[in-house]
Amino acid sequence: MKDLAHIRNFSIVAHIDHGKSTLADRLIQATGALTEREMKEQVLDSMDIERERGITIKAQTVRLIYKARDGEEYVLNLIDTPGHVDFGYEVSRSMRAVEGSLLVVDASQGVEAQTLANVYQAIDADHEIVPVLNKIDLPAAEPDRVREQIEDVIGIDASEAVLISAKTGLGIPDVLEAIVTRLPSPKGEAAAPLKAMLVDSWYDAYLGVIVLVRVIDGVLRKGDRIRMMQTGAIYQTDRVGVFTPKMLETDVLGPGELGFLTASIKQVRDTRVGDTITSERGGCAKPLPGFKPAVPVVFCGLFPVDSADFEDLRDAIEKLALNDASFTYEMETSAALGFGFRCGFLGLLHLEVVRDRLEREYEIDLITTAPSVVYHLHMTDGSMREMHNPADMPDVVKIDRIEEPWIRATILVPDDFLGDVLKLCQERRGIQMDLTYAGSRAMVVYRLPLNEVVFDFYDRLKSVTRGYASFDYQMDGYEAGSLVKMQILVNEEPVDALSTIVHRDKAEMRGRSMCEKLKELIPQHMFKVPIQAAIGGRVIARETISALRKDVTAKCYGGDVTRKRKLLEKQKAGKKKMRQFGKVEIPQEAFINALKMDG
């Protein structure tokens, strides 16, 4: 156990690509936590998909031993927080586990919306914040402008910002020194009953669930019987230790320390981020404030392309859920797609990450149906029910009103693109709440229905601003809206997986766009195929795919048979990627691409 005065706990706040992981790597290297040989680029982002997307899903920590310029040895605990809006609650818990933050800003790019969201979390958690300007070796670096921007936009003093280049290692010793001299040491009572925060947890095939903890008061020891205050579950710790970043058993963690415990916990689901861990007997009286259960806000159906893969999909989803308590699933049957799962996610990125992992790690080809938000249906009998799936919409005469979730979105954008952003938000039923300038950049705050954002808003935003806009949002309550269920009929048959809930004013445009898209996405058949969008029984848009005119090989003799047979094999394989609806085959990508809007 280290005395509190010689501990510093901190996180790094940064936008994607601004150099958080590289800086973390440099700090690990500079304090000799890993040898050169052990050093793999960006040690902290361990999952492939995380690495590819430059995002972190699980919080991780590393303990650094640093001999400061005052001659004393300090323990520096770095916590790497999840870096995306979908994981806002997880981020807030990680922030509560430390006392200070390094705010890393790219000296050429400046502050982004995501940086803002995280830095506000840090401010909410009463952090001391040390601004760090990265990439100052780049010719485009403008440290003075960015310093000014930090002061204007965030409102913190940036005059003593540390100038570094994480890539070249320039300024790294100054960062370490600033952590010791400018960040506060943690507070806590070793003699008090155990009170520790469950910061995050993940599943390890050998050790079971590994729980990342921050001890607030008291001492956590190997062999202790502990109680999770929210779930009430009792465990006995098998291992207690720290990450260096390798797991190192210390058998004891004192106040102010960050580390791990294992206690033969079988599923991540049994641990709740933000829960308070205490002793079974003589524990603390009150849990830590701020605990919230994870609530999925975006739902979609996941179906195997090949229905024979259903059991494999079930196994894969169960395995994935072992490590991700925020992801929910239940079996779903679609007339069009057969057996699959209705899954709930914290947000769109979370959805994409889970889908990618299922496809890549478990090699299952998936059909993803249109993402849907959770609607509140207020029925004429006074009851309220939640609807996760447009296919479940009850008879409209029984519905008094439908409420949909809204968000409060913050968008930072260079003013050249401001007009396009406003137009996009306006098209998506947005209501402008605020518009301010910081230098040549505008910060717009909009209230938007989540329904309008859930599908391709972020893609559209990136495209209209050529990638210069940054975006962040938080949930902002439910409101009644004029919402209707729009069905798509292919060759006169409704395809349930293409049903969506749309705003009445948008229905016709949306229906036309979907019919046009499907006309491109569904291949020609040997007969003509009508595609219709309908509300109730009324058709609001229609397109027709003409029948194939001619498709026959002119010359086919003895030398052509093998090649023709192989082409046929390919055709057969292609058909496996299609779904049959009555007589019509729809390619899997049509289900998601039909919903993308161009304007």
Partner 1 sequence: MGDLGASRAELSAADWRAGGFGVYVHWPFCLAKCPYCDFNSHVARVIDQDAWADALVAEMRHMRALTGARRAGTMFFGGGTPSLMAPRTVARLIEEADRLWGLAEGAEITLEANPTSVEAAKFQGYAAAGVNRVSMGVQALDDADLKALGRMHSVAEARAAFDIARAAFRRVSFDLIYARMGQTPEAWEAELRAAIGMAIDHLSLYQLTIEEGTRFFDLHRRGRLSVPEDAVAAEMYAITQSLAAEAGMPAYEVSNHAAPGTESRHNLVYWRSGDYAGIGPGAHGRVTRADGLRLATATERAPGAWMAAVACSGHALVEQTPLSAAEHGDEMVLMGLRLAEGISLARYAAVAGRPLDAARISAMEAEGLVERRGERLVATPAGRLVLDRLLGELLA
Q: Under the rule (CB under 8 A), what is the footprint of partner 1? A: 526-527, 548-559, 561-562, 564-565, 568, 571-572, 575, 583
Report the 10 Å Cβ neighbour count for 579. 23
What residues pair up with 375 in beta bridges, in sequence order?
A: 387
On whether 137 is known to bind a ligand per the annotation, the reply is yes
**379 or 568, CB closer to partner 1?**
568
On whether 259 is known to bind a ligand per the annotation, the reply is no
Q: Report the amino acid identity of residue 249.
A: E
**Tokens for 127?**
């952090």
Measured CA to CA, the distance from residue 357 to residue 367 in angstroms comes to: 14
Q: Are 174 and 166 in contact (CB under 8 A)?
A: no
- Cβ of residue 516: shortest distance to partner 1, in angstroms? 21
- Cβ of residue 148: shortest distance to partner 1, in angstroms? 54
- Cβ of residue 580: shortest distance to partner 1, in angstroms? 11
On whether 144 is known to bind a ligand per the annotation, the reply is no
Q: Are 33 and 65 in contact (CB under 8 A)?
A: yes
- Cβ of residue 110: shortest distance to partner 1, in angstroms? 46
Report the 10 Å Cβ neighbour count for 118. 29
Beta pairing, strands 100-106 & 7-14: parallel
| DSSP H/E element including 384 | strand 384-387
Measured CA to CA, the distance from residue 486 to residue 503 in angstroms comes to: 10
- Cβ of residue 364: shortest distance to partner 1, in angstroms? 21
On whether 17 is known to bind a ligand per the annotation, the reply is yes
Measured CA to CA, the distance from residue 352 to residue 597 in angstroms comes to: 18
**140 or 554, CB closer to partner 1?**
554
The position carrying tokens 């009555």 is 582
On whether 84 is known to bind a ligand per the annotation, the reply is no
**192 or 548, CB closer to partner 1?**
548
Measured CA to CA, the distance from residue 45 to residue 534 in angstroms comes to: 46
**234 or 568, CB closer to partner 1?**
568
The position carrying tokens 């390919």 is 570
**40 or 555, CB closer to partner 1?**
555
**335 or 568, CB closer to partner 1?**
568
- Comparing C-alpha atoms, which of 115, 172, 105 is closest to residue 145? 105
**Tokens for 304?**
């195997």
**205 or 526, CB closer to partner 1?**
526
- Cβ of residue 363: shortest distance to partner 1, in angstroms? 22
What residues pair up with 243 in beta bridges, in sequence order?
A: 247
> What are the E-state strand segments in 135-173?
162-163
**292 or 575, CB closer to partner 1?**
575
**437 or 527, CB closer to partner 1?**
527
**395 or 551, CB closer to partner 1?**
551
On whether 19 is known to bind a ligand per the annotation, the reply is yes
On whether 7 is known to bind a ligand per the annotation, the reply is no
Q: Are 475 and 184 in contact (CB under 8 A)?
A: no
Beta pairing, strands 234-236 & 225-228: antiparallel
On whether 20 is known to bind a ligand per the annotation, the reply is yes
- Cβ of residue 578: shortest distance to partner 1, in angstroms? 10
* Distance from chain centroid for Cα 561: 51
On whether 22 is known to bind a ligand per the annotation, the reply is yes
Measured CA to CA, the distance from residue 425 to residue 407 in angstroms comes to: 12
Three-class SS state of 281: coil
- Cβ of residue 307: shortest distance to partner 1, in angstroms? 15
- Residue by residue, DSSP assigns 398-456 as GEEEEEEEEEEEEEEEEGGGHHHHHHHHHHTT-EEEEEEEETTEEEEEEEEEHHHHTTT
Taking the CA atoms of residue 417, residue 418, residue 424 and residue 428 in that order, the dihedral angle to the nearest 10 degrees is 160
On whether 18 is known to bind a ligand per the annotation, the reply is yes
- Cβ of residue 526: shortest distance to partner 1, in angstroms? 5
- Cβ of residue 312: shortest distance to partner 1, in angstroms? 22
From the annotation, which residues make up the binding site for GTP?
17-22, 134-137
From the annotation, which residues make up the binding site?
17-22, 134-137
